[in-house]
A and B are shown apart, each in its own frame.
Chain A
């Protein structure tokens, strides 16, 4: 009897089981968050940001790409969130968040509690980009973006693009939590603004104990990038050693990075050995380039990168008073017993750096600067 009607029962039951999830809601009935801003306003926490506007626009045209700003206030994060929930028409969906923006004021107060919230609450992605903005997020999200969908997208796309090309650091929630849980190290997060219709990367914000302690401007961040970025790239102009007026555009990338640490005479020693590869992009005025010129140029590039590394490491010791590069990870790995018995934060401030940068100009692009000689 059962076997006779089995197929009919299956056909009837299947559509019921295939209707979707338990809490399924259409995408246009959800409140899709694109970006989150967090600020300290007097004694309250202010959540702001952008949410996707999915309702169809006038005339029947879909306005999928639009976003609207939201603002909510509360004594704690939960209060601010409750204030936000009181004014939204659909369930909150944070799976599409592109970036979280902290104000400088909030950064200085400390972002660790909010990072723990992001990392542990179900629904938030732990791969979300974290940035600090020059202005309050409330003002940032009100600005109009010309070259992207909205502020959140513009910030994420800009930082991602720069990170892929070795010009910035893309720092995610998970990476920050990993640094926080290591305890004795600080970290850098991107520092941004929105200006003239575009999101702009301004540099890196140095964080000690998850509190903002300083900014490394974009122009000065080469040293940080050559220490931390996966594929740092630096493009600069150098004068030829034989003729100072002769300018050369050089692109430098990282070949190999080796960091070794040791503990001698009650001092931490950090050896940084960089092998760089440079390429002559073009000459401002084409002219011959001798082997001596190239050798001198290699030395100049090495010195410039070495100086920028020395400058930021010195700032980390004297100004930030924190190991924002995470050298402690290397030290703990190489000297586990010494690490257990020391106060890394205190001793790092007197650490001695030995930096060796070795640059090789691997090619001159498609240009043969000495061709003129051959014609003669």
Chain B
């Protein structure tokens, strides 16, 4: 039996998986839909996702030490649980595979132009397979080391971006005539916030994780503020008209900035790539953890490490199937829409049954 995770480990893992690949593109995704009012859409999205994360945490808290697989069987029966697991398996697999591929494509475009994408993928899979073979506790400890560095550097970079930005570029902050536009833009905030559904597969202990609700609410609130900070600081530098043209927006904008006073690290894109990759390694490990948790429930006679190798190999082969980067982006986009089922519909069904049948009182 593995040692149960601490509150801090759970929140840093959530931070890693939510920021994962999403933060680099969040300004384009949200600004394309909401313009300079992006902060408002993100604020509303943050409140919605705080409520959703509380619902998921409640399920995990009520069914102490269990994951979705175990308590779903009690609530909806074996066959529907199996259906849920298949949906989650496909969802996690698509994210895991496509995030590795798109990360490799971006690294190829930005820094390793002559390195074939397949080799960047291969190296990533080797690192992830090693992390995965060590189990969730090791991934959690890696996140504990990487996340504080990531937070510090992102805040520093945003601060430096603001120092290069102009207030006029983020105006108008709010326009009453665009209010419907801001609400429609909530659709664009789904991809940046996906990832919290991994909580359904992380067992929570009531004694070890007493204050977990407080931690989760603070974390999602913090991530929301961080997203607003990233979006506004990026827009303040180049204006919303430029942001919508740029893929991997944060990296692209950072390529256009030199902070002379920082001397050897005056080119911030290099620094950003380092922390972005650190976070991605954590996120990809966590997506793959979601897969292996589901598979190991169903396939019991295979050794864990052998299963890791099989999953990573299949994912590697599938990751090479999309022919273009656009196809990968499209797959990720559709997967993020299906995320609504994963982090909201299924947990909501289980939550309602728990409440109606008063399982929470019985437990």
CA distance A3 to B257 in the complex (A): 48
Q: Does B327 contact A (CB under 8 A)?
A: no
Residue of A nearest to B169 (CB): A329
- A337 and B177 contacting across the interface, CB-CB below 8 Å: yes
The residue from B169, B245, B255 contacting A127, defined by CB atoms under 8 A apart: B255
CA distance A178 to B239 in the complex (A): 7
Residue of B nearest to A119 (CB): B256
A125 cross-chain contacts in B, Cβ below 8 A: 255-256, 258, 267
The residue from A22, A123, A174, A337 contacting B253, defined by CB atoms under 8 A apart: A174
B109 cross-chain contacts in A, Cβ below 8 A: 122
- B241 and A22 contacting across the interface, CB-CB below 8 Å: no
B172 cross-chain contacts in A, Cβ below 8 A: 332-334, 336
Q: Mark B176-191, 1 if CB is under 8 A from A, else 0.
A: 0110000000000000
- A127-B258, A174-B256, A177-B242 are contacts. A122–B171 as well, Cβ < 8 Å? no
Q: Mark B208-251, 1 if CB is under 8 A from A, else 0.
A: 00000000000000000000000000000111011001000000
Q: Does B334 contact A (CB under 8 A)?
A: no
Among B77-85, B111-119, B144-152, the one that faces the other chain is B111-119
CA distance A160 to B253 in the complex (A): 20
Q: Which of A327-341 contact B (CB under 8 A)?
A: 329-330, 332-334, 336-337
Q: Does B43 contact A (CB under 8 A)?
A: no
- A22 and B112 contacting across the interface, CB-CB below 8 Å: yes
Q: Does A375 contact B (CB under 8 A)?
A: no
B242 cross-chain contacts in A, Cβ below 8 A: 177-178, 181-182
- A181 and B239 contacting across the interface, CB-CB below 8 Å: yes
Number of residue pairs A-B, CB distance < 8 angstroms: 75
B114 cross-chain contacts in A, Cβ below 8 A: 22-23
CA distance A182 to B36 in the complex (A): 14
Interface core residue of A23, A123, A173, A178 (most chain B CB under 10 Å): A178
Q: Does B76 contact A (CB under 8 A)?
A: no
B171 cross-chain contacts in A, Cβ below 8 A: 329-330, 332-334
- A174 and B175 contacting across the interface, CB-CB below 8 Å: no
A330 cross-chain contacts in B, Cβ below 8 A: 168, 171
Q: Does A366 contact B (CB under 8 A)?
A: no
The residue from A126, A183, A333 contacting B256, defined by CB atoms under 8 A apart: A126
Q: Does B341 contact A (CB under 8 A)?
A: no
Query: Could you tell me how many residues of chain A have their Cβ less than 8 Å away from some Cβ of chain B?
Result: 27
CA distance A329 to B237 in the complex (A): 13
Q: Does B110 contact A (CB under 8 A)?
A: yes
Query: Could you tell me how many residues of chain B have their Cβ less than 8 Å away from some Cβ of chain A?
Result: 30
Interface core residue of B110, B113, B172, B175 (most chain A CB under 10 Å): B172
Q: Does A11 contact B (CB under 8 A)?
A: no
Residue of B nearest to A127 (CB): B258
CA distance A172 to B164 in the complex (A): 12
A333 cross-chain contacts in B, Cβ below 8 A: 36, 168, 171-172
CA distance A172 to B237 in the complex (A): 12
CA distance A160 to B261 in the complex (A): 13
B178 cross-chain contacts in A, Cβ below 8 A: 336
Residue of A nearest to B113 (CB): A122
CA distance A181 to B31 in the complex (A): 15
Q: Does A21 contact B (CB under 8 A)?
A: yes
- B255 and A126 contacting across the interface, CB-CB below 8 Å: yes
B238 cross-chain contacts in A, Cβ below 8 A: 174, 177-178
Q: Which of B104-149 contact A (CB under 8 A)?
A: 109-110, 112-115, 119
Q: Mark B146-173, 1 if CB is under 8 A from A, else 0.
A: 0000000000000000000010110110
Q: Mark A308-340, 1 if CB is under 8 A from B, else 0.
A: 000000000000000000100110111011000
Binding site for B on A (CB under 8 A): 21-23, 122-123, 125-127, 160, 172-175, 177-178, 181-183, 259, 326, 329-330, 332-334, 336-337
Could you jot down 30 A-B contacts, CB within 8 Å?
A: A22-B114, A22-B119, A23-B112, A23-B114, A122-B109, A122-B110, A122-B113, A125-B255, A125-B256, A126-B256, A127-B257, A127-B267, A172-B256, A174-B253, A175-B256, A177-B242, A178-B237, A178-B239, A178-B241, A181-B239, A182-B239, A182-B242, A326-B168, A329-B168, A329-B171, A330-B171, A332-B171, A333-B172, A334-B171, A334-B172
